[in-house]
């Protein structure tokens, strides 16, 4: 829609920071359209069902486990030449009344061990049907081959399942179930060649590891056409804390520019442009002691009083959290985060623009502790409203 070059940086010292919000019982869950979650382009995102709805089985004998992975030589005691396959289930009940234009099976949650594509071939997706996931599925024949999910480690791990999804809906069924495995079960070379699909634990079938991306003409009327509205440019001042003992960040200009560029890709969907200026600051001994003991609000004292902007501090450690929002326009982020840095950045911009956490789906940007990137139409409307207000205040100060 819009490219990342629209992210604006001042030419002085460049830095960037976004924070993940307070991880506290007071975090508010947003429930928006509990029947169908869709992003700005009219795409409906359906996560795979977690728990005992899926898992893996060997290909040559009866057995099962809860993790989602495929490949061969899973462990030293695994039979030579045998492999494992994964089973997924999706609930289509929310889209049973709409006309599906396209459907893609997709995941970004991939870890690769060894050389599975070179040794075992393509990663294929078959259609299968089961009442309960169990070890009995190990030799069940699929109804059809649906698509090829990936042919190399550099692929997008996405394939077209439109025909199959429409067939399921037309039949009146509400479950779409898949088996994923390599062309070849194993190569008997004694080395582990595996693809693991996981978010936090390779041995758990977590909801949202995979998702179905559904488009439909039925919901086109509810789209927000961002290309037809004016971009909103929001000012962000990012502070790199340097030469400040244990509070000093290890990040540099190039790292932060990359983070912001990738974060911009997410906010392009809302028509919000990140106008970033970056400064290095040095804390005095009192401030170093304050932030080291968790008193991050002490950083208010270094903010200029005459600039209306979102202010973000980069610091080495936050004593646990990825980031902390300490006011509507001030936040901090630690050097090490448990999620993708650019996604954490976009997530924290969401907090600064008035969004709370959601527990709806891991594919959502505001789901805490995950790598979701999707914004709902309602979230886009709300953030654009606050961004517009920020721009008005900024203009009045000039």
Model confidence pLDDT, tens digit, residues 359-385? 888 889 988 888 889 999 889 988 998
Q: Residue 266 belongs to what H/E stretch?
A: helix 253-267
At 100, the pLDDT band (50, 70, 90 cuts) reads confident
Mean of pLDDT values over 331-341 = 84
Q: Which residue has the tokens 């949202």?
A: 208
Q: Rounded to whole angstroms, how far apart are CA atoms 90 and 168?
A: 11
Residue ranges, CATH 3.40.390, the chain: 4-40+223-397
Residue 52: its pLDDT value, please?
93
50-93: pLDDT as tens digits? 899 999 999 989 999 999 999 998 777 788 888 999 999 999 98
At 190, the pLDDT band (50, 70, 90 cuts) reads confident
Closest of 25, 77, 283 to residue 192, by C-alpha: 77
At 217, the pLDDT band (50, 70, 90 cuts) reads low
What percentage of the chain has pLDDT greater than the value 90? 44
With H, G, I as helix, E, B as strand and everything else as coil, classify residue 46: strand
**Can you name the residues that pair with 83 across neighbouring β-strands?**
72
φ, ψ for residue 314, nearest 5 deg: -100, 125
Distances in whole angstroms, Cα of residue 356 to Cα of each of 99, 115, 271, 278, 310? 32, 41, 20, 26, 17
pTM: 0.51
Q: Which of 33-47, 88-102, 292-306, 369-383 has the lowest mean pLDDT?
A: 33-47
Q: Is the pLDDT of residue 31 over 80?
A: no
Q: Rounded to whole angstroms, how far apart are CA atoms 112 and 132?
A: 28
Q: Which of the listed ranges 43-52, 76-85, 127-136 does the model predict with the highest average pLDDT?
A: 127-136
Q: Is the pLDDT of residue 120 over 50?
A: yes
DSSP 174: -
Q: Rounded to whole angstroms, how far apart are CA atoms 236 and 119?
A: 48
Q: Is the pLDDT of residue 11 over 60?
A: no
Q: Are 105 and 209 in contact (CB under 8 A)?
A: no
Residue 1: its pLDDT value, please?
31
**Can you name the residues that pair with 212 across neighbouring β-strands?**
46, 105
CATH architecture entry for 4-40+223-397: 3-Layer(aba) Sandwich (3.40)
DSSP 24: S
Q: Is the pLDDT of residue 198 over 50?
A: yes
127 token code pair: 């259609």
């Amino acid at each position: 829609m819009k490219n990342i070059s629209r992210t604006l940086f001042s030419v002085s010292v460049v830095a960037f920071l976004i924070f993940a919000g307070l991880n506290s019982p007071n975090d508010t869950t947003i429930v928006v359209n509990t029947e169908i979650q869709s992003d700005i382009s009219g795409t409906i995102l359906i996560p795979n069902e977690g728990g005992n709805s899926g898992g893996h089985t060997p290909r040559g004998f009866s057995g099962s486990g809860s993790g989602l992975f495929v490949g061969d030589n899973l462990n030293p005691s695994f039979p030579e030449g045998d492999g494992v396959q994964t089973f997924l289930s999706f609930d289509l009940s929310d889209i049973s009344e709409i006309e599906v234009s396209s459907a893609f099976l997709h995941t970004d949650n991939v870890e690769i061990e060894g050389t599975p594509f070179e040794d075992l071939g393509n990663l294929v997706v078959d259609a299968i049907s089961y009442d309960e996931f169990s070890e009995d599925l190990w030799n069940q024949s699929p109804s059809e081959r649906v698509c090829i999910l990936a042919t190399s480690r550099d692929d997008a791990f996405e394939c077209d399942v439109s025909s199959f999804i429409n067939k399921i809906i037309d039949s009146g069924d509400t479950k779409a179930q898949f088996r994923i495995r390599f062309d070849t079960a194993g190569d008997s070379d004694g080395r582990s060649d595996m693809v693991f699909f996981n978010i936090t634990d390779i041995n758990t079938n977590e909801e949202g590891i995979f998702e179905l991306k559904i488009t439909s003409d039925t919901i086109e009327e509810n789209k927000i056409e961002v290309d037809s509205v004016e971009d909103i440019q929001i000012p962000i001042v990012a502070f790199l804390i340097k030469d400040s003992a244990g509070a000093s960040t290890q990040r540099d200009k190039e790292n932060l520019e990359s983070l912001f560029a990738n974060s911009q890709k997410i906010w392009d969907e809302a028509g919000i442009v990140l106008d970033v200026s970056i400064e290095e600051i040095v804390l005095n001994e009192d401030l170093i002691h304050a932030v080291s003991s968790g008193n991050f609000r002490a950083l208010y004292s270094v903010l200029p009083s005459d600039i209306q902007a979102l202010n973000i501090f980069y610091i080495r450690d936050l004593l646990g959290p990825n980031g902390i929002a300490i006011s509507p326009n001030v936040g901090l982020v630690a050097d090490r985060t448990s999620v993708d840095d650019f996604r954490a950045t976009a997530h924290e911009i969401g907090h600064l623009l008035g969004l709370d956490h959601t527990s709806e789906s891991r594919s959502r940007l505001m789901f805490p502790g995950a790598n979701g990137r999707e914004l709902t139409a309602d979230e886009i409307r709300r953030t654009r409203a606050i961004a517009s207000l920020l721009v008005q205040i900024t203009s009045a100060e000039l």
